């Protein structure tokens, strides 16, 4: 008989030294877009499109597999909130939402995150992690997104 695969003993465990955990603890800077008791959103430093935002749970989840379902539901609600604001702020024609799990699934930073990327007709995404954006541009974009989220 085949044993049922258990996420807890088939996947690597959470490493609290990952970059996003350090951002959550305030040990590394980030261009914050939103924060509440369970989620945090900030701009990707190597955006694939203007406004590329990462939405993460505060809970120490490595991937989609090990997060508590209630925290996941909250993460998705916040992702939709960010997505709606991003479409307005960046006057987007569309939106790409991506989420990767483990190296085999394309994940590079091992704290669960959802990518929100506003899209324009005919404009391709830049390759992942290709160009570091100017911090003054990221600051301005984060302020505009945060203001849109507050309905300003
Ligand atoms: P993944 O492939 O794990 O889904 O994507 C990780 C993302 O994190 C990439 O899009 C990359 O540009 C972004 N990233 C890597 N290091 C940092 C960092 O120090 N700060 C921010 N804000 N984003 C980062």
87-144 tens-digit pLDDT: 999 999 999 999 999 999 999 999 999 999 999 999 999 999 999 999 999 999 999 9
- Nearest-atom number in ligand 1 for the CA of 30 is 22
Q: Which residues form the domain of 128?
A: 3-149
Contact indicator for 19, 28 with CB cutoff of 8 Å = yes
- Residue ranges around ligand 1 (CB below 6 Å): 19, 30, 42, 44-46, 100, 106-109, 113, 128-129
Tokens representing 134 are 């100017």
Of all residues in the chain, the percent with pLDDT exceeding 70 is: 94
Give me the DSSP letters along 44-80.
-SS-SSTT-EEEEESS---STTTS-HHHHHHHHHHHH
Total domains in the chain come to 1
Contact 93, 120 (CB under 8 A): yes
Q: What is the mean pLDDT of residues 63-71?
A: 97
CB 54 within 8 A of CB 41: yes
CATH number of residue 33's parent domain? 3.30.428.10
């Amino acid at each position: 008989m085949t044993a049922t695969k258990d996420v807890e003993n088939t996947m690597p465990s959470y490493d609290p030294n990952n970059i996003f955990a350090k951002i959550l603890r305030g040990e590394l800077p980030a261009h914050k877009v939103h924060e509440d008791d369970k989620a945090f959103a900030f701009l990707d430093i190597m955006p694939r499109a203007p406004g590329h935002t990462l939405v993460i749970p505060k809970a120490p989840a490595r991937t989609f597999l090990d997060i508590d379902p209630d925290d996941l539901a909250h993460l998705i609600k916040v992702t939709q909130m960010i997505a709606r604001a991003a479409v307005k702020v960046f006057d987007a024609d569309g939106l790409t939402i991506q989420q990767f799990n483990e190296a085999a699934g394309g994940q590079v930073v091992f704290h669960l995150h959802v990518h929100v990327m506003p899209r324009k007709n005919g404009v391709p995404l830049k390759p992942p992690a290709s160009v570091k954006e100017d911090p003054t541009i990221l600051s301005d974009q984060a302020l505009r997104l945060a203001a849109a989220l507050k309905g300003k």
